[in-house]
Each structure stands twice: as C-alpha cells, then as structure tokens.
Amino acid sequence: MDFEQIYKSYFRDVFLYLCSLSANEDIAEEMTQETFTKALKSIDTFDGAKDIRAWLFSIARNTYYTFCKRQKIYADEEISENVADVQIDFAEQFVEEENAFLIHQFLHDMNEPYKEVFSLRVFGELPFEKIGILFGKSPSWARVTFYRAKKQILEYMEAIEHEKN
C-alpha cells in the first residue's frame, strides 16, 4: 500500500471525524497527524479485512480518547468555545449558526453508540455497511442507530423551538 496515497485520500475524512469528536479544529488537526503517524507505524498489521477508512477511524477514536485521558478531559464534559466550523448537509437546522451550536452541544452529550454512529455517518460520511463493520454489527443496526440519534436531535430542536414560542 502506498501510504502517501492513503494519507491524501483519507486525511480530510479523519480530520472531520475528529472534529466531530473534539469540537475543536486545533485538537482535531493534532489528533489527525498522530492518527496517521500511528497508522504508518502499524500499516503492516492492516490485513485488508476492514475498509481502510474504518481502520483509520478506529485509530483516530482511540488516539482521541487517549488524548482526553492524558489531558484529564472526558468526552462527556462541556464543549469548548472553539466549536469546529464543519460544513455538512444535515437538515436545514445546520444552516443557522446558533442551531448548529445547539446541535453540536446536544451531540456532545448524547449517549453512545448514538453519538459515534451519527458522527461517523454525518461527519465521516461513512456508509451504514462500514459503520456496522466498525461496531461488529449489521448495516441494519447502524441504520437504526443513526435514525434514532437523528430523531433525538430533531426532538431536542423541536423542544427548543417550542420553548421559544
């Protein structure tokens, strides 16, 4: 495998995935570099049974969680003020910056596996088949989990809208 090609092809995907986990572009960029460093060191162990992007996302997730432990930051704590400016096409809610922040805040506090499945699908743009592989589940499980996460977010946004009126 040509590692330079892997890096060029998947850097953006890994970066966006880490932005969704950390909600901080600087941390995401640092973790992306560390992810590819780890991947380069262990590329010989990659057997090709999984999709390379799923393998990189697993390394990225573990790298981020290790970073959080080192920094004594836990994934369930508050989102920092530097929310990543990630552009995605998920519902009209994301068009408005205030709603985007509220959704990111809700997503940050969402329970697993909903949070990660949603992030992999929306920010990582992974198909349900590959998300299922990551979790050792079926594509149907990934699809149902994603739609449940999406439903939670929409219900949350409707509740906020209802409070405003």
DSSP 78: P
- The pLDDT assigned to 72 comes to 64
Q: How many CB atoms lie within 10 A of CB 69?
A: 10
Q: How is the chain split among helix, strand and coil, in percent rounded to 5?
A: 75, 0, 25
- The pLDDT assigned to 165 comes to 65
Average the pLDDT over 58-69 and give the result. Answer: 83
Cα–Cα distances in angstroms (integers) from residue 11 to residues 55, 56, 81, in the given order: 13, 9, 24
Q: Which domain holds residue 93?
A: 3-164
- The pLDDT assigned to 88 comes to 39
Is the Cα dihedral 7, 88, 125, 154 positive or negative? positive
How many independent structural domains does the chain possess?
1
Q: Residue 97 pLDDT > 70, yes or no?
A: no
